[in-house]
Structure 1
C-alpha cells in the first residue's frame, strides 16, 4: 500500500500536470541520459488503462506495452547496447515522446548524506559546497561523455558542463570523471543524497522488518517521540531559527537547554527508526526502473551514535536495494568516514562497521580516506581524492583492472614479551611499506590492563615492530583508532592503511 502511494505521489508530482492522460515516462528517463551498456536495459512509464504504448529505436519498433493506469507502470525491455551513441528512442501512445542525444555506458547511483550531497561549487543549491580549486574545477568540467541526473531536482538528465556540474555532487563527479578517463566509456551519474540523514531513512522498510528487533525498536521510538513531544517541538523551532539566522548572517541562537546531548542522541535514534525507509521510497525506489552498473555510498556521520548497529543496518540496506533492482548482487562501494576532530568517540567503531560490511557482504568495496579529511570541517574540500579512490576500487573490483586500489593491510601479528610484530600485505606490486616520519606514529599498544600507549615503530620490508616502555606485556594493538588520528602508514602508491585493531587472543585483524 505504501509503495503504491509513493508511486502515485511521484506520478502526480512529476508526470501528470493538469491531470492529462498522455503517456508519460518515469522521470529518470529523458534526453541526454546514459543507458546501461552490455546488458538488456529497460524503459518505463505510465499510460491510461488499455492505452497501447509503442517504443521505437531509430524509427524501428522494438517493443509494445499496454497502459495500466496511474499506479502500475508499463515496461519495455530495450536491446543490448555497446558503449557509445544510442539512436533516438521514441515512445508513442496518445502522444509521442522522443529521447535524443542518448549514450550507452555505465550508470552509477551516488547516495548518502551531506558529503555525497556537497557540490563542486558553493551556491544557493549547497551553502557548504566548494571543493579545492573549485573555480578551476568547474571551468574544466566539460565532459560530453559524462551525464548527470539529480533525483527530485525536477531537472532532466544533463550533459556534464560547467553549468550542470557546479551544483552536482563533487564526490560523484570526480568518481565519474576518473572512470570516464580510464575506461573511455560514457558514465551516467545519478545523485540521490540528503545531508544530515541516517542510514535508516535509506533502508527499505521491508528489509528492516526482517530484523527481529525492529518491531520493538519502532514501538520504543514512537513512545519516545510521544513522551518528549514538547522538547522535540522546541528543538524543531530552534532549528528553524538557526536556519533563518544563518540565512540573514546573524548569530546562531543557543540550543534549548532541555535538549541535552544524551537526549539528542536518543531523539536522533528515535527519529531515524520511525523514519525507516522514507528516503528510500522517495529517492531510491523510483530509480529501480533503471538498469545500473552499481552504487557508491558516502554516509555514516548520521549513525556514529549507534555505531554498534551500523554493520547490520548497512547490510540490510544493501540487501534491500539489490532485491528492489532485481539485478543480483550489483557492486556497492563504500567511502569510509574520513578523519574529523569534532565527532563523538565512536567514529572508529563506525569505520570498523564499514570494514565489517565489506568483509561479509559480497561484491562490496571500501575506499579509505583516513588521511584526506579536514580536522575542523565535517565537509572536507578534497573531494577530488574521495572520487579518485572510489574509482580505483571500482576499477579493480568491478572492472578487473590491474590497479592499486588499497593501502597496506595487516595479515597477522605476533605478540612477544616486550614488543609486537605486524606483517602486512602492502596492497601494491612494489614491495615495502612507507611510514611517514613524526613523533606520533598512529600505533598504540596495550597490556593486560587494556590501557593503550603510543608506540614506536621499526619498519623492515613488509613488517612493523612496535614497542613502548610503558607496556611490558603487550596484549593488544591498534592503529589510527581515533576520530582524527595521525595517519602514517602507506604503500608506495600513496594509499593509506585503514584503521584496525587486533589482540593476542586473535592475531588476525577483525576490524573490531
Structure 2
C-alpha cells in the first residue's frame, strides 16, 4: 500500500472508529455548511463519511430528487448532484443514521482565492478607502469561506472554516482582493458568488503544490530543497497544499485567482516552470481545466537588482505556455516602498474584468493591458507588436519611457519609442543593428505605456532565454 493510500486509510479508520461511538453518524467536511454556494449549471460532488456499508441519501430542494449511495470500506461516501441555473436559497439534506440539513444554500459562481500576503490582505490590515468600502459591504448573495492556516506532511481529508454571508463585519477580515473581485462579478452577472480564501503571507509557491509535482522535476526539486525556513510562514514543499488545498478537492469551482510570487523572487527563472506545474497539479486533482487568473507582482525595491522584474517576466511567460490563464498587471497601482500596496480595489476589479471577459463572454470589458507578442527589425529600428492593443496604445505623459535596445553585444541602452497605431517603434543612435528590446526592466519601474482601455503594459524582454541573476 502506498504511503498516500495508507494515510487515507488511517484517516478513514479514525473516522470509522469515531462514528461507531455515535451509532455511525454521517459527517461532512467543513466546506459543506449553511450559507454555502455551489457552482451553478454543473455536476457538483457532495462527500463525507459514515459507517462502512451505511446507506446515505442526499436530497437537494431545487429538484427534491434523492440521490443514494453507500459508504465504502474506507467509510467514505460521495454523490453527484446536477445543479440548475443560479438561484436559492435552497436546502440540501443528507440522511444516513442521522440527518444533516444544510440551509441557505445558493447556486452561483464559486472561485478559489489563493496565494500569499497580497491575496490574504484584509480591509482591517489597511486598504485604500476602507472607511467608505467596509460599511457598504452588505451583499447577501456573496458568501465567504476562509480556510484556517494549517500545515501537514501528507494530504488531509478535512480543514477548518465555515461559510458566512458578506456583511461589513465579515468583509473586513476577508481577502480584500477576493471581495472586490466577487462584488464586480456579482454586480455584473447578477448571480450569487462564493469565494473560498486559502492564502498565507510570506509563503513560496513550492508550499502550495503536491510533493509529487516537485519531485518529478529535478530543477524544481533542487530549488525547493534549498528553501530557507522563515518565521512568518511555512516554505517546505506541499506543507500548505496538504492542509489547505487538498481537503477542498473536489469542491466544484468556476476558477482560481492567484496572487503570489514575492517569496519566489530569489529564484525567478524557475518560476516559469513552477507556476505551470502548480496549475496543472491543481487542475489534475480537481479533474477540471478551470480558468486560472493571477496577479503580476507589483514594483518594489527588492534587495537584488532585477530580482523582481525577472519574476514578473516569468509570470508573463507562463501565459505563453499554459492554456486558459490570464494575468493582471498592477505596475500603475503599486508602491515601490511597500510590498503590500493598499489599492486592492483596482486589483480585484481587474481580475473580475479579466474573468468576465474570458470566462463569461463579456467582451466589452477589458481583459488585459498590452502584452508583447513579437518584434520586427527594420534597419536600425525595431517594431514591436502587442496583444490587447487592438484599440490602440497610449503614453500617459509626454513620451514613452522605460524602453531599452541592444545589438548583438546585448549591451542595453536607453531608447526612444514612438507609438504607431497598435505598434511601437524603438531605436537608439548608438545601436545600428538592433537585436533585442526590453521594457520596464527594473524592480521598481512604473512605466507609462497603456492600451486605450486604460490598462498598463507588462514589462518584457524580447530575448528568448531567461537571464540568470548570477
> Is the TM value for this pair above 0.5?
yes
Q: Does 1:421 align with 2:379?
A: no
TM-score by length of 2: 0.87
Counterpart for residue 407 of structure 2 = 447
Q: How does 1:98-177 map to 2 (within 5 A)?
A: 98-121=101-124, 129-152=125-148, 154-177=160-183
8 Å contact kept, 2:123–2:130: yes
Q: Deviations over 1:125-175 (max 9, x none)?
A: xxxx22101121111111111110011374410111111111001111111
Structure 2: unaligned runs, 5 residues or longer: 150-159
Instruction: Note if 1:196 corresponds to 2:198.
Output: no
Partner of 1:457: 417
Corresponding residue number in structure 1 for 2:84: 81
Asked if the contact 1:149/1:190 (under 8 Å) is kept, the reply is yes
1:186 is matched with 192
Please give the secondary structure, in 2, of the residue aligned with 1:100: strand
Assess if the C-alpha contact under 8 Å between 2:41 and 2:82 holds in 1. no
- Contact 2:20 2:51 (8 Å CA) reproduced: no
1:315 counterpart = 2:315? no
Question: Which structure 1 residue ranges, 5 or more long, are not aligned?
Answer: 122-128, 226-231, 244-267
Shift of 1:500: 1.2
Inter-partner Cα distance in structure 1 for 2:332 and 2:13: 44
Shift of 1:331: 0.9
Q: Retained in 2: the 8 A contact 1:405–1:427?
A: no
Normalised by the length of structure 1, the TM-score is 0.80
Cα distance, 1:458 vs. partner? Answer: 2.3
Higher mean C-alpha deviation, range 94-103 or range 145-154: 145-154
Moved more, 348-357 or 297-306: 348-357
Do residues 377 (structure 1) and 338 (structure 2) align?
A: yes
In 2: Cα distance, 1:314 partner to 1:177 partner: 27
Give yes or no for the alignment of 1:29 onto 2:32: yes
Contact 2:388 2:451 in 1 (8 A): yes
| SS of match in other structure, 1:395 | helix
Post-superposition Cα deviations, 1:187-226, rounded to whole Å, max 9, x if no partner, equal: 11000111111111111122223324566667xx3xx79x
The separation in 2 between residues aligned to 1:416 and 1:492, in whole angstroms, is 26
1:408 paired residue number: 370
Q: 1:60 and 1:86, CA in 2 relative to 1: closer, same or farther beyond 3 A?
A: same
Q: Deviations over 1:19-66 (max 9, x none)?
A: 754211111100101001111112111112233222122394511222
1:347 to 308, 316, 319: 308
Match of 1:264 in 2: none
> How far apart in 1 are the matches of 2:165 and 2:20?
29
1:52/1:356 Cα in 2 relative to 1: closer, same or farther (>3 Å)?
same
In the TM superposition, what is the alpha-carbon distance from 1:93 to its structure 2 partner? 2.0
Check conservation: 1:36, 1:105, Cα contact below 8 A: yes
Q: Is the 8 A contact 2:372 2:387 kept in 1?
A: yes
Taking a change above 3 Å as real, the CA distance of residues 4 and 370 of structure 1, as seen in their structure-2 partners, is farther
- Asked whether the 8 Å contact 2:19–2:25 carries over to 1, the reply is no
Aligned-pair CA distance for 1:12: 7.5
1:498 alignment partner, one of 444, 450, 458:
458
C-alpha separation between the residues in 2 aligned to 1:18 and 1:137? Answer: 49
Aligned to 2:211: 205
SS of 1:478's equivalent in the other structure is: strand
294, 307, 325: which one aligns with 2:255: 294
Aligned counterparts of 1:103 and 1:485: Cα–Cα separation in 2: 44
SS at match of 1:484: coil
Q: Which has the higher helix share?
A: 1
Partner residue in 2 for 1:65: 69
Contact 1:457 1:465 in 2 (8 A): yes
Whether 1:366 aligns to 2:372 is no
Aligned residues, how many?
Answer: 450
Check if 1:482 corresponds to 2:450.
no
2:427 and 2:190 map into 1 onto residues whose CA distance is 49
